[in-house]
A and B are shown apart, each in its own frame.
Chain A
Amino acid sequence: MRRFSVVSAIGFMVVALFVVWLGVNLVKTPTDFFQALLIGLATGCVYALVALGYTLVYGILELINFAHGDVFMLGGMVSVSVATSFGLSAGETFLWPLVIVVLLIAMAVCGAINATIEMIAYRPLRNAPRLAPLITAIGMSFILEDVGLAWKGPNYVNFPDVLPTSNVFSIGGVDFQWDKLIVLLITVPVLLLLLWLVQHTRQGKAMRATAQDMDASAIMGINVNRTISFTFLIAGSLAGAAGLIYSLYAQTVRFDQGFQLGLIAFTSAVFGGIGNLPGAVLGAILIGLIQAFNEALSWHAPGSDWTESIVFSILILILVFRPEGLLGERTPEGG
């Protein structure tokens, strides 16, 4: 039972204002609205893949893995390198099998990177105060960012332009292009695979047990270190997949893209309720939608100059008003 309070009243007001703003925009420019909806869905899917990595790791170690966004960036760079060396181009016969191969390579490399980071940087601090691994993670993030910088230089690296941008359908001026559909087509199976892995396999059971109580699972014969490594492996490979999909979609990669997108994805994870897998996906899609609405709608939208501020304001509002997120459970950190 919740008491009525000023805090929840303000929260309610914010949501109500947002809904009114959306409604007015829908009535004024329906085409823009639906267009933005589709764009937001596609971006939200990429965010979801990265957000799941944050949520998996947080669920098991209660650690905000700051370096995760930069693993995503490295995923993009691996994809660019592999795709360029394969000579990927739009008219190729084996285009899609090749893209799948690139996807698998990116996932494998990023999974390995993430698991290695855990082993080197986080495992020795397992019993330290909780802020110690967090600070280490920030350090790792900066190191990875500069690895990307040293590898590909400070400029944008172009990804081969392979996604068709012709329309799948067009209803009343609302276009849905192939590239967005393909993003969805790659993302959704990966998500389903992950859910199956966590909920229906032996390893997934071990992960859930370790997340609940590390000591008790160790007593029950679960190899906790291996389970944590496995979690980082999965999280890293999701980031790798996101790296490829993002670079397919945006067609550029740069060393600093991981920090921004990582923070947005983390916000999504908090939004949905950190530690909760469906929550991360829901939060990511909502954040993707909000971003797309903000950038595409015309009536009193702050515009892309303010995207970060809006995303971080959401983060702050969520943490202040509903720290457990949309689908999460109450944690002691909350209130």
Chain B
Amino acid sequence: MDAGGAIEQVGFRNQLRARWNALPQEQRWTATILIQLLVAVGLWFLDHALAEGFLLICAVIWLRKLPPLPWRLAGQAALVVLLAIFAATGNALWSVPIVFALGFAAFWIPTKQRRWALPAIGLAVAILYPFFEEKLFTMPVFGVFPDVYTGVYMVVFVMMAVGLNIVVGYAGLLDLGYVAFYATGAYTAAWFASEQFPHTRFDLWDIGVIPKDLPGVHVSLWLLLILAGVITAGFGVIIGLPTLRLRGDYLAIVTLGFGEILPQIARNGDSLFGFNLTNGPNGITPLDSPGWGNTLSNATGGFLPANYLTCCKRVLLGHQIQSADVFFWTALVLLIFTVFCSLRLRDSRLGRAWVAIREDETAAGAMGIPLMRTKTWAYATGAFFGGVAGAYYASFKSATFPGDFFFNISVFILCMVILGGMGNVWGVIVGASFLAYLNQEGLANTGAWINSNIHIGSHHPNLDVPLYSSGIYGLIIVIVMLLRPEGLIPSKRVAAELHEGVHDEPAYDIAHGAHDV
């Protein structure tokens, strides 16, 4: 052990870990198996399905420790066959062995090909999701898999998290007011695709969704997405220019301030100097549903639906396509665009400048990176995707209320980025999907499971788990920051930074030179 090893043994947790590592391998493995079996027995009394699921996961992890050929392959095949027998005898759904077989197959992809194969598989699963969603098995504790409505919600929040990741993960600027961008996007969509301004009349005839001569402005959502992105990005620049010269926690607080002011303007905006801008606490509703209009729909033979809400009579692969499915696929297209931009930006000159600023602002400035411009770009880009996501989500919900834009949402999105792994797009996608699912369905299902399965004597707890959602996210944030600050799927650079203990202690602020110091 080198000198660093001695230091690592300080502290209760590290001492325990050192003692554990000093044991011979067989003892460690035996102990682990025994503990896992004990846990499984304990879980059996709570919920049979949970114990079975736990054992399955343990089995999968143990299989990975075996030598690949022939033992691991044989073990995995045996497991799948076992599950298939269960399915054939009616003890499990057929989706269980299929999911496991696909999962094992993914493990066998060579490391070199994983970089593109795993995202491609994930995308394929997501696109086909509406077709097999109803045939999936029920998870222990979490209950049924999310339905397609939740899927849309998840994809939208993944988009926002990927956008926030540009600001927080790439450039290292903590933004606690991301909800302001979401709100800007949502209100942009609401203003230009509803009857909010009845004295103005504007529509796009047959290219738009809404029949002629309705009061209000009615622009097609597809133009509005771009408009919302651009307006929000401009807004990000306006917020950024005066504040981005502040560093670290001061910047965080200022963004938080903006994140609080904007919803209040929305809330009080029913008479701004006598003008009804936001319709106050009642919000703007309904919004025009998205769609491609009759002209484009007819020209593509009905491939592009004229109106998403009244959409789709066709049956594909034995599945009646519903409007939620179309919303879901459109959201996926937007997400692919976001992820693509995010990845390309990361490797661009601008992206490398962001990382440089995150790692050492002083050094980056000294190397000639224009700090203000680079940071403002990070802000504007992050804001752009937040705005697009907000506009799409408002249009999906067909409403926008000031009550949707609380500080909680900012922290919720931040929590997604932190849980997934700051700076790593794939990590952020995983973290965001999981948390968005929890927020929409998972917590309610978990609560139902707790209330029906956990009891002390005959006393059942009557917990309203979704009520405590923000506390649960807080707990996730704290646990992740303490135990694994780089997140579930870390970016290597961020992990190194967090473990080295880099200090952001500038000698003086380069953005303004050494004056007044």
Q: Decide yes or no whether B117 CB sits under 8 A from chain A.
A: no
Q: Decide yes or no whether B59 CB sits under 8 A from chain A.
A: no
Q: Decide yes or no whether A118 CB sits under 8 A from chain B.
A: no
Q: Decide yes or no whether B407 CB sits under 8 A from chain A.
A: yes
Chain A residue, CB-CB nearest to B252:
A134
Q: Decide yes or no whether B477 CB sits under 8 A from chain A.
A: yes
Q: CA A149 – CA B285 in complex, angstroms?
A: 31
Q: CA A160 – CA B326 in complex, angstroms?
A: 56
How many residues of chain B are within 8 Å of chain A by beta carbon?
Answer: 59
* Chain A residues in 8 Å Cβ range of B473: 139, 142
Indicate if the CB atoms of B504 and A130 lie closer than 8 Å: yes
* Chain B residues in 8 Å Cβ range of A259: 407
Indicate if the CB atoms of A305 and B268 lie closer than 8 Å: yes
Indicate if the CB atoms of B261 and A313 lie closer than 8 Å: yes
Q: Decide yes or no whether A320 CB sits under 8 A from chain B.
A: yes
Fill in one digit per residue for A138-165: 1 if any B CB lies within 8 Å of its CB, else 0: 1111110111011000100000000000
Q: CA A311 – CA B475 in complex, angstroms?
A: 29
Q: CA A332 – CA B510 in complex, angstroms?
A: 10
Contact status of A332 and B481, CB under 8 A, knowing A139-B476, A259-B407: no
Indicate if the CB atoms of A319 and B243 lie closer than 8 Å: yes
Q: Which of B256, B261, B415, B478 contacts A140 (CB 8 A)?
A: B478
* Chain B residues in 8 Å Cβ range of A149: 467-468, 471
Residues of B286-308 at the interface with A, using a CB-CB cut-off of 8 Å, are: none
Indicate if the CB atoms of A125 and B481 lie closer than 8 Å: yes
Interface of A is mostly: helix
Q: Which of A145, A270, A316, A319 contacts B471 (CB 8 A)?
A: A145
Q: Decide yes or no whether A46 CB sits under 8 A from chain B.
A: no
Q: CA A140 – CA B475 in complex, angstroms?
A: 7
Q: Which of A135, A143, A319 contacts B481 (CB 8 A)?
A: A135
Chain B residue, CB-CB nearest to A266:
B253
Indicate if the CB atoms of A143 and B253 lie closer than 8 Å: no
Q: Decide yes or no whether A333 CB sits under 8 A from chain B.
A: yes
Q: CA A2 – CA B515 in complex, angstroms?
A: 9
Q: Decide yes or no whether A127 CB sits under 8 A from chain B.
A: yes
Q: CA A149 – CA B467 in complex, angstroms?
A: 9
Q: Decide yes or no whether A16 CB sits under 8 A from chain B.
A: no
Q: Which of B246, B477, B497, B503 contacts A323 (CB 8 A)?
A: B246
Q: CA A134 – CA B252 in complex, angstroms?
A: 9
How many residues of chain A are within 8 Å of chain B by beta carbon?
Answer: 50
Indicate if the CB atoms of A319 and B485 lie closer than 8 Å: no
* Chain A residues in 8 Å Cβ range of B468: 146, 149-150
Q: Decide yes or no whether A330 CB sits under 8 A from chain B.
A: yes
Q: Which of A124, A131, A309 contacts B261 (CB 8 A)?
A: A309
Chain B residue, CB-CB nearest to A133:
B481
* Chain A residues in 8 Å Cβ range of B481: 125, 132-133, 135-136, 139
Indicate if the CB atoms of A146 and B261 lie closer than 8 Å: no
* Chain B residues in 8 Å Cβ range of A127: 501
* Chain A residues in 8 Å Cβ range of B316: none
Q: CA A259 – CA B467 in complex, angstroms?
A: 17
Q: Decide yes or no whether B260 CB sits under 8 A from chain A.
A: yes
Indicate if the CB atoms of B498 and A129 lie closer than 8 Å: yes
**Chain A nearest Cβ from B402, distance in angstroms:** 12
Q: Which of A124, A130, A315 contacts B248 (CB 8 A)?
A: A130
Q: Which of A121, A138, A332 contacts B509 (CB 8 A)?
A: A332
Indicate if the CB atoms of B249 and A130 lie closer than 8 Å: yes
Residues of A102-137 at the interface with B, using a CB-CB cut-off of 8 Å, are: 121, 124-125, 127-136
Chain A residue, CB-CB nearest to B497:
A129
Indicate if the CB atoms of A139 and B501 lie closer than 8 Å: no
Indicate if the CB atoms of B508 and A332 lie closer than 8 Å: yes
Indicate if the CB atoms of A145 and B498 lie closer than 8 Å: no
Q: CA A308 – CA B292 in complex, angstroms?
A: 42
Indicate if the CB atoms of B248 and A135 lie closer than 8 Å: no
* Chain A residues in 8 Å Cβ range of B503: 129-130
A-B CB contact pairs (8 Å), 13 listed: A121-B482, A125-B482, A135-B477, A139-B478, A142-B475, A143-B478, A146-B472, A149-B471, A305-B264, A308-B264, A309-B265, A315-B253, A323-B246
5 tightest A-B CB contacts, nearest first: A146-B471, A142-B474, A139-B477, A312-B257, A139-B478
Q: A134-B252, A146-B468 are in contact. List 6 more A-B contacts (CB 8 A).
A: A64-B253, A134-B248, A149-B468, A150-B471, A308-B261, A332-B506
